[in-house]
Amino acid sequence: MKIEIFDDKNSLMHTLLGILSYFWLFVFIIFIFYEIIEHIYKHNKEKEANFLGDIVEFLFGLGAITLTLKALN
């Protein structure tokens, strides 16, 4: 399975939410539940690769802010 990241207009939003989740844990919880519900709702319209790509975009933002802030300390 080929995972496509940064493939749609919401990709930047997923990354920004990942950055915000470093500061507010509830953003992480809401994002994960939203993605699961969206994937269930779009069962035949969205491929699993797109779902996983959204999660990777989110984790990219979270990882980027974590590395940035740790490097500054």
- Share the mean pLDDT of the chain: 92
| Interacting residues of 18 by C-beta distance below 8 A, sequence separation 6+ | 31, 57, 58, 59, 60, 61, 62, 63, 64, 65
- pLDDT value for 43: 80
Tell me the C-alpha distance between 73 and 70, whole Å: 5
| pLDDT on residue 66 | 97
What parts of the chain have a pLDDT lower than 70?
none
Q: CB neighbours (10 Å) of residue 15?
A: 21
Residue ranges per structural domain of the chain: 11-72
Q: Which residues contact 48 (CB under 8 A, 6 or more apart)?
A: 1, 39
Predicted local distance difference test score (pLDDT) of residue 42: 83
